[in-house]
Amino acid sequence: MKIHYDNIIYSLQNAGGISSYWTSLISRFLRDNFDISFTEYTNQNISRLELNIPSEKLIVQRKKLVLVERFKKLFLKNHHEPFIFHSSYNRFTNHPQAKSIVTIHDFVHERFYGGLRRYLHVLQKNKAIEAADQIIVVSENTRRDLLKFHPSLKEERITVIYNGVSDAFFPVAAQSFTQRPYLLFIGSRAYYKNFNFAVQLLQTLPEFDLYIVGAALSKSEGQSLNHKLSGRWKVFTHIENQELNLLYNQAFALVYPSSYEGFGIPLLEVMKTGTPFVALNRSSIPEVAGDAGLLVNELDIDAFRQAIYSISGNEALLRVKGLEQSKKFSWEQCYQETLQVYQALVP
């Protein structure tokens, strides 16, 4: 079986859940010596740095306008028999021998954006879905969204394959820390992630600091934090998993008030460290969380504050539940189930 991967995600983001997903698959196909090749553009992606892809397997595109190239179909050569084509982010090929796979992670643009951004992303995604021989979705919630926006799809074309979690996350032996207790917010600060809500929540919890992991703050974000949480916040950008693991371990809890997730990898990561979390009970979050964390039904300050206070005295139970729930997901299982999809199309 021949496989061709389109690595464009590495040029569209420097880090993120889709990059982690893509890297977990590539590393295992390389490990198991599959006949796999890659198209990619020059990039500075953190996850890509983890991979050692032999140069003879790479077709490196050096065009600068990646934001334009991402919307074009990929022209491939040197394939003279059926092969698997899988794009990391919604591209497709017109090669007659290709059996195309697309992974749909979420429907953020359909639900939360408008204008040209929404139009271009939805157009690209719809073309990839139409061209796909099989569609992988990362949760049951994403499958339901897919059928909502594409009701004519046959369900047998859709396979749910859950994301996994890196072995870089694990409990660290308890130590004496001198810093004030903190709550952790991680990931994008797009408005549906409710970062401003998290800041407002911290205003009602003066005994906690707020640690933020993600992109650099904008000027307005920094000004707002200085006004609302003066001296009580820190931001961490471009950190590797080793440092992130320590931040998870030392946190009092992860605060995850996101209104929508295709999956929710940070929940798995924090569970694997044994640290509690408080999350909004929406979209895919209950699928990932199980009964391991504290889920709040409404985006309400009082409800979140009460949930955070309820952690005290229940840390041991939440730790055990989180560690057990995290065992239900693994990148190895994700890889094996993805391989089964490929083999069904190209034995």
By CB atoms closer than 10 A (0-12, 13-18, 19+), residue 154 is: exposed
Q: How is the beta sheet containing 98-104 ordered, strand by strand?
A: 58-61, 35-41, 2-6, 83-87, 98-104, 134-137, 158-160
Which residue range forms the structural domain that includes residue 240? 182-326
Q: Are residues 61 and 100 in the same domain?
A: yes
Residue at token pair 């694990």: 170
Q: Which pLDDT score is estimated for 119?
A: 87
Judgement on whether residues 24 and 57 belong to the same structural domain of the protein: yes
Q: Identify the pLDDT of residue 35.
A: 96
- Residues 67, 8 within the same domain: yes
What pTM value is reported for the model?
A: 0.92
According to the model, what pLDDT value does residue 169 have?
Answer: 97
Report if residue 197 sits inside a domain.
yes
Per-residue pLDDT of the chain (347 residues; tens, 9 = 90+): 999 999 999 999 888 889 999 999 999 999 999 999 999 988 989 899 999 999 999 988 776 667 677 777 788 877 789 999 999 999 999 899 999 999 999 999 999 988 988 988 899 999 999 999 999 999 999 999 999 999 999 999 999 999 999 999 999 986 656 579 999 999 999 999 999 999 999 999 999 999 999 999 999 999 999 999 999 999 999 888 999 999 999 999 999 999 999 999 999 999 999 999 999 999 999 999 999 999 999 999 999 999 999 999 999 999 999 999 999 999 999 999 999 999 999 98
Asked if 234 and 295 sit in the same domain, the reply is yes
Dihedrals φ, ψ of 131, to 5°?
-80, -15
Residues 215, 78: one domain?
Answer: no
The CATH number that applies at residue 249 is: 3.40.50.2000
Q: Are residues 221 and 314 in the same domain?
A: yes
Question: Does residue 187 sit within a domain?
Answer: yes
Token readout for 104 is 């749909």
Whether residues 237 and 337 fall in one domain: no
- End-to-end CA distance of the chain, in Å? 7
148 and 193 share a domain? no
Other CB atoms within a 10 A radius of the CB of residue 328 amount to: 15
| Number of domains comprising the chain | 2
Give the other-Cβ count within 10 Å of 259's Cβ. 17
Whether residue 169 is contained in a domain is answered as: no
